[in-house]
C-alpha cells in the first residue's frame, strides 16, 4: 500500500494531496457510526474466505481476535480515528494491520470498499430500524391505553379547525394510532426490501476468486444476495425508502405536536402538558411554553429536507459507484436519529399529559356540533336531506344572531320550529346519545372505541414480539462475541 503523496493506496502520484481535498474526501467523522457493522461484515467475509480456502485458518483466528479487540476499544471510546485514513473501513483495516500484521492484508481479498459500504449501511439500517420499530410499538401501545381510558370522553371533532361533530378523546387518539401503525408497517417493509446482501459484488464486476456469496449472506442474516453487481454497489433505494418513511412518520408526529400546541393554549385549554416537557420564558414568569411539542413539529421539515437532499444527490448518477454517494450518510443518520428521538418524546409525553375532561365537554355546547343530527331527525320524518340541511342552516343562523345555542334555545322551541316531536329533538341534542347512535365500523361509539383500543393494544404486543424476533443476532455477531 503506497503512501506516496500522503496517499494510503494507489500509484503514480507525484504530488501531495491538497489539505482541503483530504478534509472533504474524509468521511470518518461521521461514518465511524457504522464501526460495529463494518467489523461484523469483516467477520463474515473472513469466515467465508477461510471456508473457501482463500485464507488460512490461523489468519482467520488472528483477524477475528484483532477485530474483537478493536471493537472493544471503539466501544470504550479509546480508539484513535485518523482523518488521513479517510473512512471507517480504512481506519479499522489499518488498526488491524498495526495489531496483527500480515494477516490483516488478506482480509480485503475479493472485497472492495464499494460493496463494503453498501453492506455496512444495510447492517446499520437493520439495527437502527429495528430499534425504531420497537419505539413505535411502545408509542402505539401507550396511545392505545390512553384511548381505552378515555374511550367515552366526549370532545369536539374538527374540520378546517372549526367545531364540526362530537367524537370522543379515545377516538381522536386512535386516529393517531392508525398513522403510527402505518409508519411501523413502512419500517418493516423497508427491512424486508433491503434484506439483500451486496457483499461479493466487489468494486462493480464481482471477483475472479471462488467466493461463496450465499455463505456470506447467511452469516450476516440476509435471506438472499444481490443479483447484479452493478446495482449492488450503486443501489441506495433502501436509504431513500427509509428517508421517505421518516418524512411521512415525522409528518404524523408533527400533526400531534401541532394539536398539543393548540390544545394546551388558554384558548382551548383541553390539555395540560407535564412540566418535564415544557420550558419557561426568559422574561415572562407566568409562561410554560410547549417547546417540545413545537420542536417535534419543526423537526419534520428537517427530515423532509434530508429526503430531498439525497434524492437530488442520486438523481443524475451513472452506474456504478460515484463519490457523490458519500453524501448519503449524513442525511440518513440525522433523519433516523431525529425520527427516533421524536417518537420517544411522544411516547413519554403523551401518557403524562393531563386531559381536561370538563373543558372538553363544555366546548361541545358552542359551535352547534349536533346540527347534522337535527337534520337527520328531519330526514327521519320524510324531509329530503338537502331540504333538511337548508332548514337547519336557517335555524342555526337565527340562533347565532340571538347569541344563543341549541342547549339554551331548548328542545321545545326547536321542535316547534322544525315541526317534529320534542322527544326526537331532545334525543338528537344529547351528546352521549349522539355518540351511541354512531354505531358503525370506525365511528366514535364509546363501546366501539373501547374495542378498537384493546385491539390496537393486542396488535402492539404482537408486533413487539416480531421486532424482538428480528433482533436476534446473526451468526457473524455470535462469532465476533466468541472471538472477544
| Residue 331: other Cβ atoms inside 10 A | 22
Q: Which three cell numbers stand for residue 347?
A: 411516547
Task: Give the residue carrying C-alpha cell 398539543.
Answer: 260
Q: Which of 229, 246, 237, 251 is nearest to 115 (CA)?
A: 229
Kind of pairing between the strands at 224-225 and 196-197: parallel
Alpha carbons 106 and 59: distance in angstroms, whole number: 8
Task: Give the residue carrying C-alpha cell 338537502.
Answer: 386
From residue 153, how far is each of 43, 160, 362, 442 by CA, in Å? 56, 22, 11, 17
Q: Which three cell numbers stand for residue 263?
A: 390544545
Examine the residue annotation and report whether 160 is marked as an active-site residue of this protein: yes
38 CB contacts (<8 Å, ≥6 apart)?
88, 89, 92, 116, 120
The beta strand positions in 217-265, using DSSP E, are 224-225
From residue 288, how far is each of 1, 265, 266, 278 by CA, in Å? 61, 10, 11, 6
* Cβ pair 434, 444 in contact under 8 A: no
Reply yes or no: is the peptide bond before residue 320 cis, omega within 30 of 0.
Answer: yes
For 224, phi and psi rounded to 5 degrees?
Answer: -160, 170
Q: Which of 407, 375, 379, 415 is nearest to 392 (CA)?
A: 375
| Residue 375: other Cβ atoms inside 10 A | 23
272 CB contacts (<8 Å, ≥6 apart)?
264, 353, 354, 356
Alpha carbons 56 and 307: distance in angstroms, whole number: 45
Reply yes or no: is the peptide bond before residue 263 cis, omega within 30 of 0.
Answer: no
Alpha carbons 367 and 185: distance in angstroms, whole number: 38
* Cβ pair 339, 276 in contact under 8 A: no
Torsion, Cα 26 32 34 35, to 10 degrees, reads 120
Alpha carbons 220 and 191: distance in angstroms, whole number: 14
Examine the residue annotation and report whether 29 is marked as an active-site residue of this protein: no
Q: Which of 160, 171, 238, 309 is catalytic?
A: 160
The beta strand positions in 115-161, using DSSP E, are 154-159
| Residue 80: other Cβ atoms inside 10 A | 7
Q: Which of 29, 58, 223, 281 is catalytic?
A: 281
Q: Which three cell numbers stand for residue 248?
A: 411521512
* Cβ pair 205, 252 in contact under 8 A: no
Residues annotated as catalytic are: 160, 281
Amino acid at each position: 500500500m503506497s503512501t506516496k503523496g500522503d496517499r494510503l493506496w494507489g500509484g503514480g502520484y507525484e504530488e501531495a494531496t491538497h489539505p482541503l481535498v483530504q478534509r472533504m474526501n474524509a468521511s470518518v467523522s461521521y461514518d465511524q457510526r457504522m464501526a460495529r457493522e463494518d467489523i461484523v461484515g469483516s467477520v463474515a467475509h473472513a469466515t467465508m474466505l477461510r471456508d473457501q480456502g482463500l485464507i488460512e485458518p490461523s489468519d482467520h483466528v488472528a483477524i477475528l481476535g484483532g477485530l474483537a479487540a478493536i471493537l472493544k476499544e471503539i466501544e470504550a471510546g479509546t480508539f484513535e480515528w485518523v482523518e488521513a485514513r479517510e473512512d471507517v473501513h480504512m481506519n479499522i483495516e489499518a488498526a488491524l494491520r498495526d495489531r496483527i500484521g500480515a494477516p490483516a492484508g488478506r482480509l480485503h481479498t475479493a472485497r472492495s470498499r464499494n460493496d463494503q459500504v453498501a453492506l455496512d449501511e444495510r447492517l446499520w439500517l437493520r439495527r437502527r430500524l429495528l430499534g425504531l420499530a420497537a419505539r413505535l410499538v411502545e408509542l402505539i401501545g401507550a396511545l392505545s391505553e390512553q384511548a381505552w381510558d378515555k374511550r367515552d370522553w366526549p370532545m369536539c371533532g374538527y374540520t378546517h379547525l372549526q367545531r364540526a361533530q362530537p367524537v370522543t378523546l379515545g377516538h381522536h387518539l386512535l386516529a393517531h394510532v392508525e398513522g403510527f401503525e402505518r409508519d411501523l408497517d413502512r419500517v418493516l417493509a423497508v427491512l424486508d426490501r433491503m434484506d439483500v446482501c451486496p457483499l461479493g459484488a466487489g468494486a462493480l464486476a464481482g471477483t475472479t476468486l471462488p467466493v461463496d456469496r450465499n455463505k456470506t449472506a447467511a452469516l450476516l442474516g440476509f435471506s438472499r444476495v444481490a443479483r447484479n453487481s452493478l446495482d449492488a454497489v450503486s443501489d441506495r433505494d433502501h436509504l431513500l425508502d427509509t428517508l421517505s418513511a421518516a418524512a411521512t412518520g415525522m409528518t404524523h408526529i408533527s400533526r400531534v405536536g401541532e394539536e398539543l400546541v393548540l390544545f394546551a393554549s388558554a384558548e382551548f385549554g383541553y390539555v395540560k402538558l407535564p412540566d418535564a416537557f415544557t420550558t419557561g420564558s426568559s422574561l415572562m414568569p407566568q409562561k410554560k411554553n410547549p417547546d417540545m411539542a413545537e420542536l417535534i413539529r419543526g423537526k419534520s421539515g428537517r427530515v423532509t429536507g434530508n429526503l430531498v437532499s439525497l434524492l437530488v444527490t442520486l438523481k443524475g448518477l451513472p452506474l456504478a459507484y460515484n463519490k457523490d454517494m458519500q453524501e448519503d450518510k449524513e442525511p440518513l443518520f440525522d433523519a433516523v436519529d431525529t425520527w427516533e428521538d421524536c417518537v420517544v418524546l411522544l411516547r413519554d409525553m403523551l401518557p403524562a399529559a393531563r386531559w381536561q375532561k370538563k373543558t372538553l365537554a363544555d366546548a361541545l355546547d358552542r359551535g352547534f356540533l349536533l346540527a347534522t343530527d337535527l337534520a337527520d331527525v328531519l330526514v327521519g320524518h320524510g324531509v329530503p336531506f338537502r331540504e333538511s340541511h337548508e332548514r337547519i342552516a336557517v335555524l342555526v343562523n337565527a340562533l347565532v344572531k340571538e347569541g344563543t345555542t341549541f342547549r339554551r334555545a331548548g328542545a321545545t322551541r326547536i321542535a316547534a320550529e322544525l315541526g317534529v316531536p320534542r322527544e326526537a329533538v331532545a334525543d338528537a341534542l344529547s351528546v352521549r346519545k349522539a355518540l351511541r347512535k354512531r354505531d358503525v365500523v370506525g365511528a366514535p361509539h364509546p363501546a366501539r372505541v373501547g374495542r378498537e383500543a384493546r385491539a390496537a393494544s393486542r396488535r402492539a404486543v404482537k408486533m413487539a414480539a416480531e421486532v424482538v424476533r428480528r433482533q436476534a443476532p446473526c451468526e457473524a455477531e455470535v462469532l465476533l462475541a466468541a472471538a472477544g
